[in-house]
């Protein structure tokens, strides 16, 4: 069973999904000996586990009544229950680089349960602007946005919620140019107290999910105990 810790902060809803399965996988991911392809396997496993819980809370549902395969033999073979509404607008934002793999996973799984014509994947390239004082801001280097986000749920699966600068910039970019969504849903492996405090600045409906809440940031604004550079681990590159 998943353990939920829920905090209400103005427009922001934070849910930390803590369980032994996530802690075990993330401990392995943070081990210096863990390399590709195991890095991607762990990221997929954790985000796959998060997916079902999150969409069950965030997507719209409706009650349907339909005949099952047993109906031809027994007229009681009729299913009635609550399922996802097929025609609801959903956008998945790929925040390059660390978000490449989790966003692709969310995108493909959403097309399996919803009308694929209503599901879109956007791409945003962001880079942290770092000084001797730490992360000062984020530079959005480029984007490929497929249209309006009006009345859409916008999922942002980004593994590391460190300072919050990148997510703030992405959300404000969407709001300034592409409409008003139903809400933004950020999905992280790890977040920090500093990240949560920073996200209070965002004047938009926002829900944050995380598999683990870490202790804080180093002087260089990296998470501790942390996992390391997820974008670098996924791409098998240096910083």
**Chain segment 62-72, per-residue pLDDT in tens:** 999 999 999 99
Q: Which of 172, 219, 212, 170 is nearest to 192 (CA)?
A: 212
pLDDT number for residue 134: 53
Q: 3-class SS at 98?
A: coil
Question: pLDDT value at position 128?
Answer: 64
For the cut 50, the answer to whether the pLDDT of residue 8 exceeds it is: no
Strand-pair category, 216-217 with 223-224 = antiparallel
Over residues 83-109, mean pLDDT: 96
Tell which wins on pLDDT, 237 or 43.
43
Specify which of 3-7, 62-66, 227-231 reaches the highest per-range mean pLDDT.
62-66
Q: Which two tokens stand for residue 45?
A: 């496993």
Tell me the CA distances in angstroms from 146 to 122, 149, 178, one per residue in order: 6, 9, 9
**pTM given for the model:** 0.90
Question: Could you tell me whether strands 134-144 and 153-157 are parallel, antiparallel, or unpaired per DSSP bridges?
Answer: unpaired
SS (H, E, C) 146-164: CCCCCCCEEEEECCEECCC
Give me the domains of the chain, ranges plus CATH numbers: 3-235 (3.40.50.2020)
């Amino acid at each position: 069973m998943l353990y939920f810790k829920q905090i209400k902060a103005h427009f922001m809803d934070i849910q930390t999904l803590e369980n032994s399965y996530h802690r075990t996988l993330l401990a392995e991911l943070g081990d210096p000996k863990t390399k590709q392809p195991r890095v991607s396997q762990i990221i997929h496993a954790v985000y796959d586990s998060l997916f079902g819980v999150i969409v069950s809370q965030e997507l719209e549902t409706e009650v349907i009544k339909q005949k099952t395969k047993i109906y031809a033999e027994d007229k009681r073979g009729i299913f009635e229950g609550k399922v996802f509404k097929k025609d609801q607008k959903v956008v998945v934002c790929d925040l390059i680089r660390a978000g490449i793999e989790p966003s692709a996973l969310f995108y493909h799984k959403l097309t399996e349960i919803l009308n694929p014509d209503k599901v879109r994947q956007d791409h945003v390239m962001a880079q942290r602007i770092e000084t001797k004082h730490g992360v000062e801001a984020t530079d959005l280097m480029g984007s490929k946005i497929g249209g309006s986000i009006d009345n859409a749920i916008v999922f942002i699966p980004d593994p590391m919620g460190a300072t919050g600068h990148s997510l703030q910039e992405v959300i404000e970019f969407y709001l300034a140019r592409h409409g008003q969504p139903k809400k933004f849903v950020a999905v992280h492996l790890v977040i920090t107290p500093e990240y949560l405090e920073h996200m209070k600045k965002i004047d938009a409906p926002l829900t944050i999910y995380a598999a683990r809440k870490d202790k804080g940031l180093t002087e260089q604004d990296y998470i501790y105990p942390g996992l390391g550079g997820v974008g670098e681990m996924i791409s098998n590159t240096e910083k």
